[in-house]
Chains A and B, each alone.
Chain A
Amino acid sequence: MKYGFIRWIAVCAVLLVGVTVGATVLITVEEALELAFPGATTTRETLFLSNDQRSRVEKDSGVEVSSSLATRYVAKGEDGAVLGWAYLDTHRVRTLPETLMVVLGAEGTVQRVEVVTFREPLEYMPREGWYGQYEGQTLDDDLALKRDIRPVTGATLTARATTEAVRRVLAIHAVAVQEETP
C-alpha cells in the first residue's frame, strides 16, 4: 500500500492546517455598503417607475425590467454631499434568483458589483475578481458579454444575468437622475 489511505488523510490534515485565511462567503447588505462607502451615511430609498419610465429603461438598457419597483441606497458624506448610490437588483440566473448590489459613484459610473444572495449552486458563481470588470462601466454598447465583459466558462448564464442587471441599474439611475434634475 504505497499510497495508503492513512497517508492521504495525513496530507489532507496538513492542508487543513495550512488553510487559515480567506474571506467569508457571507456578506450582508450593510457590509456591502460599508465596503462601497466606508463611514458614509446610507439611506434606503424606493423608486416607483411609471410605465413610461419603465419603457424607457427597457429601451435604454436593452434588457427586460420585470418590476416597477427599484430599491437603492444613497450614500452621503459628513457634509451631506452624495457619494454614490447602491442599487439592489433581483433576477433569475438559471432557474433560481440572485440579488446583486450595483454600486454607482457620484458621477454615475459603476464602482463595484456585490453578490448579496445567490441561490444557484456555487459552481455557477464567478470569482470575485471577475466582477471587477464592471468598474468604471457606463451604459454603452461595450457593456456586453464578449465585449468589455469576458464571460466565465461554465457560468455564462450568471455572466449574462449580471451584465443585464448592471445595464438595467444604469438605465434606472439615468431615469432617476433625470427626474431629480429640475
Chain B
Amino acid sequence: MIGRIFMRNGLILVMMGIMCWLAIPVAGATPDDEKLRELEREVAELRAAVEELRALGLAEDRLTEIERRLGILAEEMEDLKVGEAAVKVSRDQTISGLGPAASKVYQKEQGVSVGGYGEALLEFFDDSRDDGSESGAVDRFDFLRAVVYFGYKFSDSWIFNSEIEFEHASTSEGGSASVEFAYLDYLYRDAFNLRTGLVLVPMGWLNELHEPTVYLGAVRPRTENRIIPTTWRENGIGAYGAFGGFDYRTYVINGLDASGFSAKGLRGGRQKGAKAKAEDFAWVGRLDYTGVPGLTAGVAGYFGNSGQDLEDSGGDSIAVGTSILDLHVEYRYRGLELRGLWARSELDDVARLNEALGYEGNQSVGETLEGGYLQAGYDMLAGRGKSSLTPYLRWEQINTQQDVPDGWSADTANDERLLTLGLAYQPIEQLIFKAEYQNIDNEAGTGVDQFNLSMGYIF
C-alpha cells in the first residue's frame, strides 16, 4: 500500500522530512540563504503543528495540512539541489498532484562554468634512424598543455564558451598562452543555433574533441597535425545543430595564410584568431550521422583561398585556392572502439607560392596532401566499473607532398607510415595514462621510432 511509504502518518513524516532536510547534502547546488531561512521557518511551524496535534489528538484535516506543507518542503529541497535550474512547480498544483512544471533545458538564468584538462608527454627517441645513421633526437619530457575552460550563461539563449590554453608550460622556454576558442552561442532550436567568435574548425576527430581522455594515443595522429592542423581555430561565424540523426556545423571563417605552408603541411597556415589576415575567407562544414548509438560517420570540407594578398615577383596576387576534405567514422560496441579518418587537401598556385616563399628543390608545398589512419582499441575492463584498460593499435599513412608542381621534387621523408601499439589505462574516466611504441617509417629511410608515456586529466 502506498501509504506505508508515502505521507500517511503525519508525525513520523514530519520528523523524516526534517531529518532529510538536515541530512541531505545539497549536491551541485547553489545554496540560497533566503530559501534556507524560509525552510527553517516552515520546519519550525511544522514542529509547532505537531505539538498542537499531540495536544488535540490526530485530526485528519491537520494531517492533510502537514502533508501539504511537507510536499512544499520536498519541492523546495529539490529546487535547492538543482539550483537555479530547478524544476519549478506551483505549490498548489504540486499538492493537488496535477502539477505542470516550468523547468526547461538550459534554464539556468546566469552563471559561470569552469573546467579544464591537461597532459604531459615523455618521448624517448631511437638513437638511430631506420637507415642506421644517428638520429640525434633528444628525449623530451613536456607538459604539453594545461587548459582552463570558462563559460558564462547570459540567458536561455546566449552562452559564452572559451578555452584558455598554456602550451609547453612556460613562455620563457618556447611555450605559449593562447585562447583556443572563445565564442558566443545563440541557442534557437535543436536544428539551428548560431555561433560566432574564435571557433574550432569542425574537421577530423581531434580538432573539436582533443581532451586526452577522448582519444587513444599519447601523440596525436600525424594526419590530424599536418593536413588537419589541430588544434585549428579561426575567427568566424556560423550555425550548428542536429536533426533526424544528423549533426551539422557550417562556418565562414578567415582563411588559412599560405605564407605559413611548407613541405610538411598546412600547420603553419593557421592564424589562430591573432590579428588574422582577412583578405580571404573560407567555408567549412561538417555533417555527421549519429542516429545509431555507438556509430558516428561523417564528412567535413574546407574551401577557400589562402593567399591573403600574397604577391608573386610580378606583383600579382596569388590566390592559393585550398580545399580539404575528410571522411571519418567511429564505431563503438561494448569494449570495442574502432576509428578511421581519411583526409586530402588540394592547393592551387603552388609553384608561384613556392617562389614567393623562397622555397627550393624538394621544399615545395604539396599540391596534394593525403593521409589517414585506422585505429582499434578494446577495453578489457568494459562494463565493470569506472576503470578501463585499453590496448590499441593504429596504422597511419601520410604524405604531405603527394603531388608537387612540375619542376619541383618531393622529399621522400614526407611519405610516412606509422604503426602505433599502445596501452591506455583509466583508473577513473577523468584520468588517463598511456604508453605506446611508434614504428615510424618513411620512403627516405630516415624514420626515427619512439616510445611515449603520457598522463592526462579532465575536469
Contacts A1-B279, A19-B239, A182-B1; is A11 near B81 (CB within 8 Å)? no
For residue B89, CB closer than 8 A to chain A, the reply is yes
Indicate whether B290 reaches chain A with its CB closer than 8 angstroms: yes
Q: Across the interface, do A21 and B243 meet the contact criterion of CB distance under 8 Å?
A: yes
Complex: how many Å from CA A109 to CA B130? 60
Q: With a CB–CB cut-off of 8 A, which chain B residues contact A118?
A: 105-106
- Residues of chain B lying within 8 A (CB to CB) of residue A68: 16, 20, 23-24
Contact with B along A129-144 (1 / 0, CB 8 A): 1101100000001101
* Given A43-B97, A44-B99, A12 and B238 contact (CB-CB distance below 8 Å): yes
**A interface bracket (residues with beta carbon within 8 Å of B):** 35 or more
Interface residues of A in 114-130 (CB under 8 A from B): 115-122, 127-130
Within 8 A of A (CB), among B188-240: 189-193, 208-209, 211, 213-214, 237-239
* Residue of A3, A19, A119 touching B192 (CB-CB under 8 A): A19
Question: In the bound complex, how far is the Cα of B290 from the Cα of A130, in angstroms?
Answer: 8
Judge if A56 is at the interface, Cβ distance under 8 Å. no
Between A and B, 19 residue pairs with Cβ closer than 8 Å are A5-B252, A16-B239, A22-B190, A22-B241, A26-B156, A28-B102, A30-B101, A44-B99, A46-B6, A68-B24, A91-B27, A96-B113, A99-B103, A116-B87, A117-B82, A122-B187, A151-B332, A153-B214, A179-B2
Given contacts A28-B104, A46-B6, 15 further A-B contacts (CB under 8 A): A16-B239, A22-B190, A22-B191, A23-B189, A27-B104, A28-B100, A48-B7, A69-B78, A92-B27, A116-B105, A117-B103, A149-B293, A151-B332, A156-B429, A179-B5
Binding site for B on A (CB under 8 A): 1-5, 8-9, 11-12, 15-16, 19, 21-30, 41-48, 66-69, 71, 88, 90-92, 94-97, 99, 115-122, 127-130, 132-133, 141-142, 144-147, 149-151, 153-154, 156-157, 160, 176, 179-180, 182
Q: Which B residues form the contact surface with A (CB < 8 A)?
A: 1-2, 4-7, 13, 16-17, 20, 23-25, 27-29, 70-71, 74, 77-78, 81-83, 85-87, 89, 94, 97-108, 111, 113-115, 151, 156, 159, 161, 185, 187, 189-193, 208-209, 211, 213-214, 237-239, 241-243, 245, 247, 250, 252, 255, 278-283, 290-294, 296, 303-305, 319, 321, 330, 332-335, 379, 382-383, 386, 388, 429-430, 459
